[in-house]
């Protein structure tokens, strides 16, 4: 149960925590989103843009992360945003 409702100013890390609770703490999902949380977790979700995620993926690729893991992260971020939209904690992309 969350302490306060998610909003546009909720950090990426806070939304990830709520999403993982709702998703049943799936290990694969937690692993993929750990990279996201470590890199941009303190940023309010509504302020994250595609360029932030692309920069994260570029850094991970440069560090040797496989294409398969990069795809898992992309899929996890997509699911995270779908959750956030459903929860009303972010507007449509680009808004």
pLDDT exceeds 60 at position 1 = no
Q: Calculate mean pLDDT across residues 16-33.
A: 89
> How far is 85 from 89, CA to CA, in rounded Å?
6
CA distance 28 to 12: 18
> Which residue reads 């690729």 in tokens?
61
Average pLDDT for residues 25-49, to the nearest whole number? 91
CA distance 65 to 26: 20
Integer Cα distance of 12 and 84 in angstroms: 10
Residue-level pLDDT at 5? 67
The whole-angstrom separation of Cα 10 and Cα 89 is: 7
Please state the pTM of the whole predicted model. Answer: 0.82
Mean pLDDT score, 80-94:
75
Q: pLDDT tens for residues 41-75?
A: 999 988 999 999 999 999 999 999 999 999 999 99
User: 11 has which bridge partners?
Assistant: 44
């Amino acid at each position: 149960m969350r302490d306060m409702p998610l909003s546009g100013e909720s950090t990426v890390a806070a939304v990830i925590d709520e999403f993982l609770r709702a998703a049943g703490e799936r290990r694969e999902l937690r692993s993929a989103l750990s990279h996201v949380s470590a890199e941009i977790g303190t940023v309010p979700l509504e302020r994250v843009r595609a360029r932030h995620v692309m920069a994260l993926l570029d850094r991970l690729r440069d560090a040797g992360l496989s294409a398969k893991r990069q795809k898992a992260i992309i899929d996890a971020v997509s699911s995270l945003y779908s959750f956030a939209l459903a929860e009303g904690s972010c507007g449509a992309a680009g808004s």
